[in-house]
Amino acid sequence: MKRFLTATAAALTALSAQALGPHEILLLVNRASKDSETVASEYARMRGVPQVNIVRLDIGLPEHARAMTPDAFRSSVWEPAAREAERRGVGKQILAWVYSCGFPMLISTPTPVSITGMTFARCVLPEEDRIRKGTFNSPIFAGPHRQGIRGQSPQTFDTCAEWLRDDMPLPAMMLGVTGKHGNTVNEILGCLRAGKRSDSTHPAGTVYFHERDDVRSKCRAWQFGEAAAELRHMNSGMSAVITGSFPVMAQDVIGYMTGAPVVEMDSRVRPLPGAMMEHLTSLAADYSGPHQTKISEWIRLGATLTAGTVCEPYSIWAKFPSARFFPLYASGCTAIESFYQSVLCPLQILPVGDPLASPYGSRASVEFTSWPPDSAWRGRVRVAAAVKTDGIEHFSRMSFYVDGLPAGHGNEIEFDSDTLPPGEHRLRCVARTSGLVRRQVYAERVFVSGRHGTGNSATGGI
- Which band of pLDDT confidence, cut at 50, 70 and 90, is reported for residue 55? very high
Q: How far is CA 387 from the centre of its chain?
A: 24
Q: What secondary structure letter does DSSP report for 247?
A: P
Are 286 and 182 spatial neighbours (Cβ–Cβ below 8 Å)?
no
* pLDDT for position 64: 86
Q: What is the torsion angle, in degrees rounded to the nearest 10, for the CA atoms of residue 395, residue 396, residue 401 and residue 405?
A: -110
Domains of the chain: 12-17+362-459 (2.60.40.10), 22-353 (no CATH)
Angle between helix axes 34-47 and 185-198 (nearest 10 degrees) is 10
pTM comes to: 0.93
The CA distance from 68 to 61, in Å, is 8
Lowest mean pLDDT among 49-53, 338-342, 361-365, 429-433: 361-365
For 105-141, write each residue's pLDDT tens digit.
Answer: 999 999 999 999 999 999 999 999 999 999 999 999 9
399-437: per-residue pLDDT in tens?
999 999 999 999 999 999 999 999 999 999 999 999 999
Quote the pLDDT of residue 2.
29
pLDDT of residue 128: 97
pLDDT at position 63? 80
* Among 423, 390, 427, CA closest to 412: 427
Give me the pLDDT at residue 7, please: 31
Mean pLDDT rounded to a whole number for the chain: 92
Q: What integer pLDDT is reported at residue 212 of this predicted model?
A: 95
347-351 mean pLDDT: 98
Contacts for 446 with CB less than 8 Å, ≥ 6 apart: 4, 424, 425, 426, 427, 456, 457, 458, 459
Whether the predicted pLDDT of 31 surpasses 60:
yes
Cα 325 → chain centroid: 14
Q: Which residues of 357-375 are buried (b: 16+ CB within 10 A; e: fewer)?
A: bbbbbbbbbbbbeebbebe
At residue 412, the 3 state secondary structure works out as strand
Question: What per-residue confidence (pLDDT) applies to 17?
Answer: 64
What values do phi and psi take at 106, rounded to 5? Answer: -125, 140
Answer with the residue of higher pLDDT: 149 or 340: 340
At 269, is the pLDDT very low, low, confident or very high (cuts 50, 70, 90)? very high
Return the sign of the alpha-carbon dihedral for residues 273, 277, 283, 285: positive
Residues making up the chain, counted from first to last: 462
* CA–CA dist 378, 362 (Å, integer): 37
Q: For residue range 166-225, list pLDDT tens digits in order.
A: 999 999 999 999 999 999 999 999 999 999 999 999 999 999 999 999 999 999 999 999
What is the H or E stretch that residue 61 is in? none
